[in-house]
């Protein structure tokens, strides 16, 4: 399997999604509880068949290794100092067996930089490489201020912001953003109601 070095939006996106599968983020309900969920996660985020194939080959020990990777990654996002991010991501990418060039699917005849994995690599190794490349790519291109905690007061998620303006606020914008909007709307309505009652009195 090869991980392209220049697609940090994808690789950092996988890192964000992996970090936010934990029971801590889902209020006790782990979203990566078993090998079936691991395969589904790989299928959802893979650009090709190789990541799902590694997930299908996984055993219980591999799943535990992915859980441990999730913790390592979360520690990185929780302490986003530049040196810490670079050192931590460097460790994650140490599973790579060397740089190479692969065909660019978007441009016929062109190539892109990639890091390869050896044939004995596990799904944990593949995800570690993807996440490590994503972290390095974002530090390099966008800076360490793109590693943040979710802005929703009830959410314990974290994320890597790869948007162009860099103003993303939530780990899961559709979910945490909507929850926050609903909560703010209710708070404003309650405040308006209270203000109205006070005026009447
Ligand atoms: Zn969130």
Q: What string of DSSP letters covers 164-187?
A: SS-----SSIIIIIHHHHHHHHHH
| CATH code of the domain in which 146 resides | 1.10.3300.10
Ligand 1 center from residue 158 Cα (angstroms): 7
Q: Is residue 43 part of a domain?
A: yes
pTM for this entry: 0.89
Task: Provide CB contacts within 8 A for 151, sequence distance 6+.
Answer: 169, 170, 176, 180
Q: Is residue 98 part of a domain?
A: yes
Ligand 1 center from residue 138 Cα (angstroms): 20
Q: Is residue 174 part of a domain?
A: no
Domain total of the chain: 1
Cα 36 from Cα 174, distance rounded (Å) = 25
Ligand 1 center from residue 98 Cα (angstroms): 36
Whether residue 198 is predicted with pLDDT greater than 90 in this model: the reply is no
Q: What is the pLDDT of residues 75-124, one digit of tens each?
A: 999 999 999 999 999 999 999 998 999 998 889 999 999 999 988 999 99
Ligand 1 center from residue 157 Cα (angstroms): 5
Question: Per residue in 166-185, is it b (16+ CB within 10 Å) or e — as a string?
Answer: eebebbbeeebbebbeeeee
Q: Is residue 112 part of a domain?
A: yes
Q: Are 157 and 171 in contact (CB under 8 A)?
A: yes
Q: Are 135 and 88 in contact (CB under 8 A)?
A: yes
Q: Is residue 197 part of a domain?
A: no
Q: What is the pLDDT of residues 133-184, one digit of tens each?
A: 999 999 999 999 999 999 998 899 999 999 999 999 999 988 888 877 777 8
Ligand 1 center from residue 167 Cα (angstroms): 14
Whether residue 131 is predicted with pLDDT greater than 90 in this model: the reply is yes
Q: Is residue 153 part of a domain?
A: yes
Ligand 1 center from residue 150 Cα (angstroms): 5
DSSP state of 113: E
- Where residue 200 falls among pLDDT bands split at 50, 70, 90? low
pLDDT at 141: 96
Q: Is residue 184 part of a domain?
A: no
Q: What is the domain range of residue 70?
A: 2-169
């Amino acid at each position: 399997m090869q991980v392209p070095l220049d697609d940090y939006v994808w690789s950092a996106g996988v890192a964000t999604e992996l970090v936010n599968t934990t029971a801590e983020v889902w209020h006790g309900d782990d979203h990566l509880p078993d090998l079936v969920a691991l395969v589904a996660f790989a299928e959802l985020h893979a650009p090709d068949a190789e990541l799902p194939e590694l997930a299908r080959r996984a055993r219980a020990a591999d799943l535990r290794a992915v859980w441990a990777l999730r913790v390592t990654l979360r520690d990185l996002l929780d302490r986003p100092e530049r040196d810490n991010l670079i050192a931590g991501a460097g460790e994650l990418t140490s599973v790579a067996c060397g740089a190479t060039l692969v065909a660019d699917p978007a441009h016929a005849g062109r190539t892109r930089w990639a890091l390869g994995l050896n044939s004995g690599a596990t799904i944990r190794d593949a995800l570690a490489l993807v996440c490590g490349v994503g972290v390095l790519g974002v530090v390099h291109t966008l800076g360490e201020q793109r590693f943040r905690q979710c802005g929703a007061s009830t959410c314990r998620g974290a994320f890597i912001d790869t948007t162009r303006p860099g103003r993303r606020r939530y780990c899961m914008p559709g979910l945490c953003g909507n929850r926050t909007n609903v909560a703010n709307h209710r708070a404003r309505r309650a405040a308006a109601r209270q203000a109205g009652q006070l005026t009447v009195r």
